[in-house]
Amino acid sequence: MLFPVWWGSRCLANSRLFVSRSGFVPSPDIINIFHSSAVSFGTGTDTIQPKIQNRSRNIFRMDHLQGLRFADGAALKGYEEEELGVFETFKETMIKDRPETKVYSDEVFRRFLDADRIKGVFHIEESVRRMCDTIDWRRDQHVDNIRSGKQSEKFRRELSVYSKMRVRQFFGEDKFGRPVQFERLGGFFQSGNASERVLSENQWRQCYTWDIEGIFEEMRKSSVRNKKLINKYVYVGDLSEFSFSCSRDFLKHGVPLLKVLSAEIERFYPEIAGPIILINAPYVVWAIFKVVKVRVPPPSVSLPICSVGSLRRISSLTRSILPPPHEGFS
């Protein structure tokens, strides 16, 4: 959770999505310069022992913490005694139904259990169904090998198109050790980009799955680097290229596509998105979010919106991950 300093900004809702009309604009040059060689700021107590078990690489795709030894109870931190009881029931149910899940860390079970928690009430049956569906989907779609396996020439071409449409990259970590991803979201939402005119619906699904799997790789690296459990990432979307002129096309083509990706892909990746920050957002964005209930690219989060004055005023981000031309406080 972020704790921004409110400099006279108006708050439409309170929680994880922050919108600013000024701030950092990751240009194409900056995208090429910066990469995920981050500086560690984590000082957590949930440490990893030096030994990292050598397990099958495929397991990491479903469980990015597999083989890392954390302090006892690190994944269940914050649970009360009653909640721990529910967790054990869910875990036992899953292992009985799907014995292969016994190798998964508690963090995986917690993600799926928390995903279907509504107003503080757990729904074990829904969580079991979601996790079983995820296991089946990953097997049927060969998701475990989507990044590590040999890619066809056709898929590489599709990924090339996808990467040009969605300019996004990890730039480091916030003060809590969470990897930070920046995206030129406004460019992606421009006329014709987020639509089936660029890639087919199935191609979007495959490329987006490939993309999300990369998030787990970054969280694993951060966990090892910071010697503590990292199970969230921070997303910063730059909407500077989005305008009223392309909003109609986005509503007609982009919104249906994002709904498909949310319904058919994101539900298999619950509880990994941390704070979401939108910067350089024109007024039309506010209107669209008020009219259309659609999720932004990071998976499994709600869409409350807040206005903040500047990206630098968000306390979890540090100077080290901001490109030099945009380090100022103005």
> For the chain, what are the domain ranges?
17-41+155-322, 67-145
Q: Which two tokens stand for residue 205?
A: 């699904």
Residue 301 has pLDDT above 80, yes or no: no
Which amino acid belongs to residue 29? D
How far apart are alpha carbons 40 and 172 in whole angstroms?
8
CA 233/CA 173 separation, integer angstroms: 8
pTM of this structure: 0.74
Over the chain, what is the mean pLDDT? 75
Reading the block at residue 11, the tokens are: 């708050």
Half-sphere exposure (CA, 13 Å, Cβ side) for 198? 24
Sort 35 into a burial class: Cβ within 10 Å, 0-12 / 13-18 / 19+: exposed
Angle subtended at Cα 274 by Cα 269 and Cα 275, rounded to the nearest 5 degrees:
140
90 or 188: which leads in pLDDT: 90
Topology, domain 17-41+155-322: Phosphatidylinositol Transfer Protein Sec14p (3.40.525)
At residue 27, the pLDDT reads 38
* pLDDT reported for residue 18: 43
Predicted confidence (pLDDT) per residue in 3-62, tens digit? 332 222 222 233 344 444 433 333 333 333 233 333 332 333 344 443 444 444 444 568
Q: How many CB atoms lie within 10 A of CB 96?
A: 10
DSSP state of 315: T
Structure tokens at 49: 């022992």
Q: How confident is the model at residue 249 (pLDDT cuts 50, 70, 90)?
A: confident
Tokens describing residue 102? 């016994």
Secondary structure of 230-253 in the HEC alphabet? CCCEEEEEECCCCCHHHHHHHHHH
pLDDT tens per residue across span 57-114: 444 568 988 888 888 888 999 999 999 999 999 999 999 999 999 999 999 999 999 9
pLDDT at 125 > cutoff 50: yes
Pair of tokens at residue 221: 């690296």
What is the rounded average pLDDT of the residues 270-277? 90
In tens, the pLDDT along 146-169 reads: 987 788 999 999 999 999 989 999
Q: Using an 8 Å Cβ cutoff, are 306 and 9 in contact? A: yes
CA–CA dist 108, 164 (Å, integer): 32
